[in-house]
Structure 1
């Protein structure tokens, strides 16, 4: 895989994932990234995201149900699963969990250049203090055998599609919009709950 592959994440996809992590601050949470490869082949565009689980995130049957429903819905829109998002249970844990690698491995079978995004609580804290405006996630990609952290500070391999995304995120955090996030756990408990979060950005 080329080390120069770029990932560009749209504002709503980005905000949904972070609000999901903030809603369940004391639990590990995860989600999938939906998008497409750009025509140039050098960029993967992450157009949307779906928050998955906040309890027992490693269980296979609920994950399989979620992926079938997600692929069916987004396939009709010309999008496919292009990556995975993970936030660790502990604030100070910056290690990529085994469950994240396993689900990432599954996704690479269908989309070899998949991204694995890990929430970086330090960057999120800096953003809240007004110190940093870069994406509050670490980017991992898979080489022949393992997941590797891509770049470091100043790397533009993960970019926000809209430069204002972090400003909008801060507004949503201050208005406690994270309370409105619905994930697949919520939907499986009560199927009337909308896992697409259609009304979140209205």
Structure 2
């Protein structure tokens, strides 16, 4: 099945914006499994292309695995389900994230199978040394594919939707240990009644990020 991804035009230096929901859920995924590598997919609003002067907005993420990141058969199953679900929500797969199991390992360890089949870009990797909710800046290094290799994306082209609010939401959910309720695709495979779209956490993020909750 052909997957219509949100991709930049060749040679374009596209800005990337990461929403509170996407960032918080990436962090919660890593916090739930602090001694394991985790990964997942990032979703953007469906668009024919992203060109000069436009911005690729990563609206949501789907946590995938914590047991093994190399199970290509199960990854294909997950991708097919996420494809159908995201299409119903007018979204497309637009990126991949990963937190490695070693504290100081920030390498972008994606497989060639993902590159060739899905052309996923950009690719945030969580910085394991900054995963505490107390860190003042985003704990993410964003990579992009250039000249057949993954390189860190220009920080001036990476933006965050209201970082002050995002950080506040993350702190509240980390304090409440909301990561215990996050469901990734591994959890779903163990019990199909568990919902990998994480609607309850999405609702909590949106409620905490609402303007009325941050009024001066």
TM-score tier, shorter chain, comes to: 0.7 to 0.9
SS at match of 1:47: strand
The residue that corresponds to 1:64 in the other structure is 76
Q: Is the 8 A contact 2:100 2:128 kept in 1?
A: no
Residue from 134, 140, 143 that aligns with 1:140: 143
Give the 3 Å change call, closer, same or farther, for CA 12–69 of structure 1 in structure 2: same
Distance in 1, matches of 2:115 and 2:42, equals 11
Distance in 2, matches of 1:96 and 1:39, equals 25
> 2:49 matched to 1:48?
no
Q: Is the 8 A contact 1:83 1:107 kept in 2?
A: no
> 2:190 matched to 1:189?
yes
Distance in 1, matches of 2:102 and 2:82, equals 28
The residue that corresponds to 2:161 in the other structure is 161
The residue that corresponds to 1:11 in the other structure is 20
| TM-score of the pair, normalised by structure 2 | 0.80
Distance in 2, matches of 1:121 and 1:144, equals 27
How much does 1:96 deviate?
2.0
Give the 3 Å change call, closer, same or farther, for CA 23–190 of structure 1 in structure 2: same
Q: What's the CA shift string for 1:104-154, capped at 9, x where partnerless?
A: 45331xx6xx111100123334x51x5x23x21001000131111123xxx
The residue that corresponds to 1:179 in the other structure is 180
Q: Number of aligned pairs? A: 190
> 2:129 matched to 1:122?
yes
SS at match of 1:199: helix
SS at match of 2:16: strand
How much does 1:22 deviate?
0.6
Distance in 1, matches of 2:25 and 2:61, equals 7
RMSD in angstroms over aligned alpha carbons? Answer: 2.0
Q: What's the CA shift string for 1:128-185, capped at 9, x where partnerless?
A: 1x5x23x21001000131111123xxx2322111331111111111111111110000
Q: Is the 8 A contact 1:84 1:104 kept in 2?
A: no
| TM-score of the pair, normalised by structure 1 | 0.86
